[in-house]
Amino acid sequence: MDEMAILSHLEALAHSLEIKVRYEGLEGETAFPTGGLCRIRNEHVIIVNERVPIREKIQTLAKALRRFDLNRVYIKPALRDLLEEGRGAKD
């Protein structure tokens, strides 16, 4: 699966979990230069820096999505492998 397809599948997974994904230009020194998960008005939102390479966008989405229970959702095996790679690591 190419990186654009992975990114698209991660976005669709977030949507199916009712998590918004926003791409924004994050500038300056921030605690999360590539983005991350937050809550805005009681809704989960993943903010992704639109200026980082696609690989970092994928990592940001995967890291945020790992925090949710993904066992009840069908995920393509290659995508599930990507999400489970970092599950044991501290995110």
pLDDT in tens, 45-77: 999 999 899 999 999 999 999 999 998 889 999
pLDDT, mean over the chain: 89
Q: Which helix (H) or strand (E) holds 84?
A: helix 77-85
Q: What pLDDT score does 62 carry?
A: 96
pLDDT above 90 as % of the chain: 71
**Around Cβ 75, how many Cβ atoms within 10 Å?**
19
